[in-house]
Structure 1
Amino acid sequence: MTIASSSPPSRLPLGSAEGARTEQRPDRTRAGEDRGDGRLAAVFIAPALLGFLVFLAWPTLRGIYLSFTRYNLLTPAEWVGFDNYVRMVHDPIFWDSLKVTVEYVVINIGVQTVSALAIAVLLQRLTQSAMLRGIVLAPYLMSNVVAGIVWLWILDTQLGIGNEIISAVGVDRIPFLADETWAMPTIALINVWRHVGYTALLLFAGLQAIPQDMYEAARVDGASEGRMFWRITMPLLRPVLAVVLIMTVIGSFQVFDTVAVTTAGGPANATNVLQMYVYQAAFGRFQFGYASAMSVALLVVLSVITIIQYRITRAGQTDLG
C-alpha cells in the first residue's frame, strides 16, 4: 500500500503581493481608527469652539475695530484712528480708575492667596473630609451679585446686622461701603470671602500631587512642620500656585458686578474700578468707541502682566522629578 506524501504548503515570499496586503492591514486599521477618533473629537470640540468664536473671538475683534471709531449705536461707526487712545492717555478719570483697580487687585490677591493656601494646607494635613470641602466651596456657588447684595445688607450702617453687633460691643458704627477709606477694602474682602474656597480647592488638588514619602523622609530626619512647608510644600506647589495666581489676577482686574450692586463706583469714585468706568462710558454716555479703547488697553495690560507672571513664576516647569 502506497502512502502518498504531501509536501507542506509553500510560504509566500515576503515581497509577494499577498504578503504585502497582509502586512498593510494593521496599518490601515489603525489609520481608520485614528480618523474615527479625530471625527469624534471634532464633534465634542465643535460646541465649545463655536461658543469661543461667537462669544469671545468675534466680540474681541469687533471691540478692537470699534476702538478706532466714534460709535453711539444710533449712527454708523465713524473711523477716527487713534483719537480714542489719545483721549484715554489724557483722561485723569481713566488713570484714577486704573489706580483704584490696582488697589483692589493688591488687597484681593494678597488676602485671598494667603488664606486659600492656609485652608488648603489644613485640609491636606488635618482632614480630607468631602463634606468639609463642600462647606469651604459653598460661598463660590453664590453669584457675585447675590453675595454683594447680602453683604450690603449685613454691613449697612444703620440697619445691618454687622453694625448692630459692632454697636452692641460698644464700638462706633463703621460705614463700610459709604466711606472712602473703608469702601474698597470692604469690596475686596467680600470677593475674598466668595472666591477663597474655590482657590483653596485648586491649591488642595496641587498638594495632593506631592508624594507623601517626601514628608515621611523629612519627619525621619527631624524636620518641623514649618520647615517641611517651606522646603517641600512651597517649591513643589509652585507651578499650581503660579497658574492660580495668573487666573485670580486676571479675574480681579475684571471686577464689576460686586461694585455695581454695592457702591456703583462711589463714594467720590473711591471704588470706580476700570470696568465700572468702561460701563459708564458705553451705556451711560453711549461712547462705545472710547469704551472699546479702554477695554483694549485693559486687554494689553492683562496680557503683559500674564506674560511677566508666567516667566517669573516659571509656571510651565516643575520641580518634581
Structure 2
Amino acid sequence: MPNEAREAPSWRKREARVAFVFLAPAALGFLVFFAWPMVRGIYLSFTDYDLLTAPEFTGLDNYDRLLADDVFWNSLWVTLQYVLINIGVQTVVALLLAVLIHRLTRSVVIRGIILLPYLVSNVVVALLWYWMADFNLGILNEMLGWVGVDPQGFFGDPDMAIPTIALVNVWRHMGYTALLIFAGLTMINRDVYEAAAVDGASEVRIFFRITLPLLRPVLAMVLIITVIGSWQIFDTVAVATQGGPVDATRVVQYYIYDQAFTRFDMGYASAIAVVLFLILAGVAFAQLKLMRAGESDQA
C-alpha cells in the first residue's frame, strides 16, 4: 500500500506533463493570435493610430465619434438585416435537411454532397454567384427570361443586394449546419420515435413535440455559432459589392476594414471592433439564457 500511494502522485505528475505538452501549442496559438491581438485592439481603440506613427492616447474620442457616425449605424442596421435573413432561412432549411437525412437515409454519399458547398472558398463562391447573377450575361437572369421575368440587378439593386448576399451564404453554409443538427438528431433515442409511432402520432406532431424539444441544446449551440459567423460577414461583400450600391451592403466588418486599411484610421477601426465584440458577446449570452442551452429534455 505505501508503494502504491507513492506511485499514484508520480503517475499523475507524468500525466499532467504529457497533457501540458499537447496543450502547449494550442495555448501558445491562442495567446499569440487571439488574446494578444484582442488586448492590443482594445488599447488601440483609445488612441489615434494611422499604422505609420506611434499611437497617441485620445481617451474616449473614438467612441464619441462612433456614437455620432451615421455610416456606422447604417452598417449595423445593414448587418442586422443580413443576419436575420441568413440565419432565418439557413436554420429552417438546414433543420429540414437534417430531419430528412435522419428519417429517410443516413447515406455518407448524400452527406458528402450536402457538405460540398461549404468546402468551397468564400471568395470562389462569391465570384461564382456574382457571375451567375450578372445583369446582362448571368445564367440566373437568363433563366428568369425563360419565364417572362425581366432581368434583375441582384447585386446592383440596393433593395436586393443584402438578401442576395444572405441567400448566397445560406447556400454555402446550410450543408454544414445541417450536419451539425444531424449529429444532434442521432443522439435522440429512437425508442422515443417508435413509442410515438405506436401511439399514432403524425410526423408533424413528432417533429414539434419530440424532435425540437430534445434538439434544443444542439440548436442553441448551432445558432450561437451561425449567428456569430453571420455578424462577421466580409468576403462576399468585399468581392461582389465593396459595400455598395450606396452603402446598401456596407456591413460592420467591411466598414472596419475600410477604416483600418483604406483610411488608415486604426484607432477608430479598433473602437468599432470592440463594440462589435460586445454586441456578439451580448447576443451569445442572451441566446444561452433564452434557449436554456445547458439543459436537456432527454432523461
TM range (shorter): over 0.9
The answer to whether residue 128 in structure 2 is matched with residue 150 in structure 1 is yes
Corresponding position of 1:51? 29
Name whichever of 160-169 and 92-101 sits farther off: 160-169
Question: Which of the numbers 232, 237, 242 marks the counterpart of 1:254?
Answer: 232
1:302 and 2:294 are equivalent in the alignment: no
RMSD: 0.8
Structure 2 match to 1:74: 52
Question: 1:233 Cα deviation (Å)?
Answer: 0.4
Show the counterpart of 1:209: 187
Partner Cα separation in structure 1 for residue 50 and residue 105 of structure 2: 56
Unaligned runs of 5+ in 1: 1-22
Aligned residue among 75, 88, 94 for 1:110: 88
Question: Considering only CA atoms, is the larger Rg found in Structure 1 or Structure 2?
Answer: 1
Q: How does 1:131-280 map to 2 (within 5 A)?
A: 131-280=109-258
**Alignment match, 1:3:** none
Residue number in structure 2 paired with 1:19? none
1: CA distance, partners of 2:265 / 2:44: 10
Task: Give 1:40 deviation, angstroms.
Answer: 1.3
State how far apart, in whole Å, the 1-side matches of 2:6 and 2:202 are: 60
Q: Matched residue of 2:296: which SS? A: coil
| Aligned counterparts of 1:118 and 1:43: Cα–Cα separation in 2 | 43
Amino acid at match of 2:153: P
Task: Give 1:159 deviation, angstroms.
Answer: 1.1
- CA–CA separation in structure 1 for the residues paired with 2:15 and 2:89: 45
Distance in 1 (alpha carbons) for counterparts of 2:186 and 2:117? 23
> Percentage identity across aligned positions?
58
Please give the secondary structure, in 2, of the residue aligned with 1:180.
coil
Secondary structure at the aligned position of 1:314 is classed as: coil
- 2:100 maps to which of 122, 132, 151: 122
Query: For 2:4 and 2:187, how far apart are their aligned partners in 1?
Result: 38
Q: Which whole-Å deviations, capped at 9, do the CAs of 1:27-82 have from their partners, x for residues lacking one?
A: 22222222222111111111111111111100000000000000001111000000
1:85 correspondence with 2:56: no
Q: 1:202-223 deviations in whole A, cap 9, x for unaligned?
A: 0000000000000111111111
Amino acid at match of 2:167: L
Aligned residue identity for 1:210: I
Partner of 1:316: 294
**TM-score normalised by length of structure 2:** 0.99
- In the alignment, the residues of structure 2 paired with residue 320 and residue 34 of structure 1 have an alpha-carbon distance, to the nearest angstrom, of 35
**For residues 75 and 285 of structure 2, what CA distance do their matches in structure 1 show?**
23
Taking structure 1 as the reference length, the TM-score comes to 0.92
Write the letter of the residue equivalent to 1:62: R
Q: Name stretches of at least 5 consecutive residues in structure 2 with no aligned partner.
A: none
Structure 2: how far apart are the matches of 1:156 and 1:33?
65
* Counterpart residue number, 2:74: 96
Instruction: Give the whole-Å Cα distance in 2 for the aligned partners of 1:148 and 1:173.
Output: 20
Question: In 2, Cα distance between the equivalents of 1:123 and 1:26?
Answer: 52
In 2, the alpha carbon distance for the partners of 1:142 and 1:300 equals 30
